[in-house]
A and B are shown apart, each in its own frame.
Chain A
Amino acid sequence: DTEVTQTPKHLVMGMTNKKSLKCEQHMGHRAMYWYKQKAKKPPELMFVYSYEKLSINESVPSRFSPECPNSSLLNLHLHALQPEDSALYLCASSPIGSGNTIYFGEGSWLTVV
């Protein structure tokens, strides 16, 4: 099973709302990632968690707040977003060490109005 599950699949939120994106994997992977993808562009790395600790933050604005409650779950909390934050948000996971294949979820489509 190489499944990364993301919810919700679609989200529309106003600029004053607070919402969260959720990601779950049961492959025993200890690295988890958030990527942002705009139309016709490749995914861009936002955050990396290793062993449930934030290891990389690619200078992402504080209106995006990641959280890793345990080794299977990854959340992205959203607050006071801008319309330009509308994009496909992808969660991914991988083992750490040998066999570093990174598996992606289907993504959450976010529209900020």
Chain B
Amino acid sequence: EDQVTQSPEALRLQEGESSSLNCSYTVSGLRGLFWYRQDPGKGPEFLFTLYSAGEEKEKERLKATLTKKESFLHITAPKPEDSATYLCAGLSNDYKLSFGAGTTVTVRA
């Protein structure tokens, strides 16, 4: 069975304090590893798709990386507006998207 595990469950950062979120996965025939941002009461907002080990993608203060077993979301010099829940998900070969439980990031000014 496909499994995606995220850590830590919650992360409290001071503004400007860089950190990383971890996502370990076991997904059959991985078609893609996704990162989403979700604000309270809203749908997940797409951030990145990673397809193969060694791939990296960046967007503003966020950088996602992928290995054969894990993905990391690095937040560089975060701002309060980066506060959200970050979801990692793996898409299997039969188009099932398995989500991790998420990491809730709080950035204090």
Q: Give the interface of A toward B (CB within 8 A).
A: 2, 4, 6, 31, 33, 41-45, 48, 50, 55-56, 88, 90, 92, 94, 96, 99-107, 109
Q: Among B11-19, B39-47, B61-69, B75-83, which stretch is in contact with chain A?
A: B39-47
How many positions in chain B have a CB within 8 Å of any CB in the partner chain? 22
Known: A102-B46, A105-B43. 9 other contacts (CB 8 A): A43-B87, A44-B99, A48-B95, A48-B96, A96-B95, A100-B95, A104-B44, A106-B43, A109-B41
In contact, B32 and A104 (Cβ under 8 angstroms): no
Pairwise interchain contact B97-A102, C-beta atoms closer than 8 A:
yes
Query: How far does the Cβ of A45 sit from chain B's closest Cβ, in whole Å?
Result: 6
Q: Give the residues from 83 to 101 in chain B that come closer than 8 angstroms, CB to CB, to chain A.
A: 87, 89, 91, 94-97, 99-101
- The answer to whether A106 and B42 touch across the interface, beta carbons within 8 angstroms, is yes
Chain A residues closer than 8 Å to B91, beta-carbon distance: 100, 102
Say whether A45 contacts B97, CB under 8 Å: yes
Could you tell me if A56 and B34 are in contact, using CB atoms closer than 8 angstroms?
Answer: no
What are 5 A-B contacts with C-beta separation under 8 Å? A6-B43, A56-B94, A92-B97, A106-B42, A109-B41
B residues near A (Cβ < 8 Å) are 31-32, 34, 36, 41-46, 49, 87, 89, 91, 94-97, 99-102
Q: Do B95 and A2 touch across chains, with their CB atoms under 8 A apart? A: no
Whether B43 lies near A90 (C-beta < 8 A) is yes
Q: Which residue of B lies closest to A91 (CB)?
A: B43
User: A42 and B42: CB pair below 8 A?
Assistant: no
Question: Given the complex of chains A and B, what is the CA–CA distance between A105 and B96 in angstroms?
Answer: 17
Q: With A and B bound together, what is the CA distance between A80 and B87 in angstroms?
A: 32
Are the C-beta atoms of B34 and A101 separated by less than 8 Å? yes
Alpha-carbon gap, A102 to B43, bound state (A): 12
CB-CB under 8 A from B31, the residues of chain A are 100
